Amino acid sequence: MILKTIDKSRLCFYLFRMKKMLIILILLIVILLLAVSQTAEILREADFYTQLEKNYVRCDLCPNNCVLKAGESGICKVRKNINGKLYSLVYGQPVSINIDPIEKKPLYHFLPGTKVLSLATVGCNMNCNFCQNWTISQTSPGEIQVKQVTPAEIIDLAMQNDCPSIAFTYTEPTVFYEYMYDIAVLAHQNGIKTVWVTCGYINEAPLRKLAPFIDAANIDLKGFSEEFYHTYTTGSLLPVLHTLKTAKEEGIYFEITNLLIPAANDDPEEIHAMCRWIINDLGAEYPLHFSRFFPNYRLLNRPQTPAKTLRTAYQIALEEGLKYVYVGNISGISEDTVCPQCQKKLIIRSGYSLLEDHVIDGKCAFCGEQIPGIFSP
């Protein structure tokens, strides 16, 4: 009788353990299925690539044109060959979402004084040794914890925060092309404008597909020589110049930024040549922002750009005939918009703050001169 009781107790104990193990097993299976499901949601087959022999692919998104064997990622770190297909590893995974003044992009002739919802994923296709945002641009997917945010949720965030525009910025938006494109299309469907802040390193076909859904851009012209690009970046100059001309052809409103780095791209003759190219190939009406360099990332052996250098660049641009020239990352040189016809101040700024605005329906309120840009949502 005692033995039977013991056997019965053991049986109950074993059944309890088996039940517990079964519950744990079911939970593990559920977690695994959720992980697989989440991976399936995150991975997005890339646009603009060519399948090659032996499971190789060539990414056709940017001038790097990376040829990748199975398992390899491109220079940007965020586009990967998985079993002979190219995938974006950052679709729906912003590493940063903020609300900025539009002037921070910088854009001075686009919805002045408004807020812009700004976002980025990790990754970049032009690895500059002076990058100001290197902690996210030079990071691989998975190194920073992110929360998945769908394009529709980005639109909701912009609406909830009364932002008339959404900016793809901080890193290089070209590398999260599919995410940017889907957001831009949805933004236009909801009456929200879009901004592309870019190094301009993109191939023509993807740019032309994207262009109808981009309202404004700030395009970095980092220097005006191949030597500069080859020394300080992994890119080259000619594709960037082609992007600028293509953006003009497509009717994207854009402004240009040139970060002046001591002993790198601050030679007056190079600045003269750059300004002449802008005037001859684009037009004198495109705003140019000279920006002050501060030592960062791998370029720590240079001083910040002297104010004298920035003033010289500003004067060169005006002498060459550019109509709208600004100097950023430093106050007191040129941050106001001046009418090129009557020379009166139209938009007066203090840092990123708008103090006065005398542009009415895109024209100077004093003399009626047409001012290039987009001044109303």
At residue 40, the pLDDT reads 40
Higher pLDDT, 276 or 25: 276
At residue 12, the pLDDT reads 55
How does pLDDT run across 161-207, given as a tens digit for each residue? 999 999 999 999 999 999 999 999 999 999 999 999 999 999 999 99
- Helix 307-320 × helix 268-277 angle, to 10°: 40
Among candidate residues 32, 61, 89, the one where a domain is terminated:
89
Average pLDDT, the chain: 92
At residue 7, the pLDDT reads 56
Q: Does 78 share its domain with 103?
A: no
Cα–Cα distance measured from residue 235 to residue 64, given in angstroms and rounded to the nearest whole number: 8
The answer to whether position 79 is within a domain reads yes
Let me know: does 354 contact 329? Beta carbons within 8 Å.
Answer: no
Q: Does 68 share its domain with 196?
A: no
The answer to whether position 370 is within a domain reads no
Neighbours of 152 (CB within 10 A): 12
CATH number of the domain encompassing residue 283: 3.20.20.70
- The average pLDDT across 213-241 equals 98
Does residue 37 surpass a pLDDT of 60?
no
Q: Does 76 share its domain with 185?
A: no
Q: Does 81 share its domain with 101?
A: no
Q: Does 118 share its domain with 71?
A: no
Q: Does 78 share its domain with 102?
A: no
Cα–Cα distance measured from residue 167 to residue 117, given in angstroms and rounded to the nearest whole number: 6
Cα–Cα distance measured from residue 323 to residue 291, given in angstroms and rounded to the nearest whole number: 17
Higher pLDDT, 29 or 66: 66
Q: Does 175 share its domain with 258?
A: yes
The answer to whether position 16 is within a domain reads no
Q: Which domain holds residue 59?
A: 43-89
At residue 39, the pLDDT reads 40
The answer to whether position 17 is within a domain reads no
At residue 42, the pLDDT reads 73
Q: Does 61 share its domain with 153?
A: no
In degrees rounded to 5, what are phi and psi of residue 173?
-60, -25
Among candidate residues 89, 118, 153, the one where a domain is terminated:
89
The answer to whether position 71 is within a domain reads yes
Flag the least confident range among 39-43, 286-290, 369-373: 39-43
Count structural domains, the chain: 2
Cα–Cα distance measured from residue 177 to residue 211, given in angstroms and rounded to the nearest whole number: 12
Closest CA to 330 of 290, 377, 285, 276: 290
Q: Does 68 share its domain with 107?
A: no
Q: Does 199 share its domain with 345?
A: yes
Which residues make Cβ contacts (< 8 Å) with residue 194, sequence separation at least 6? 165, 166, 167, 168, 183, 184, 187, 188, 213, 214, 215, 216
Cα–Cα distance measured from residue 270 to residue 330, given in angstroms and rounded to the nearest whole number: 22
Confidence of residue 276 (pLDDT cuts 50, 70, 90): very high
The answer to whether position 151 is within a domain reads yes
**Pairing state of beta strands 57-59 and 67-68?**
antiparallel
How does pLDDT run across 75-115, given as a tens digit for each residue? 999 999 999 999 999 999 999 999 999 999 999 999 999 99
Q: Does 77 share its domain with 160?
A: no
The answer to whether position 3 is within a domain reads no
Q: Does 126 share its domain with 202?
A: yes
Flag the least confident range among 23-27, 150-154, 289-293: 23-27
Higher pLDDT, 307 or 18: 307
Which residues make Cβ contacts (< 8 Å) with residue 343, sequence separation at least 6? none
The answer to whether position 270 is within a domain reads yes
User: In DSSP terms, which residues pair with 290 in a beta bridge?
Assistant: 258, 327
Among candidate residues 58, 89, 120, the one where a domain is terminated:
89
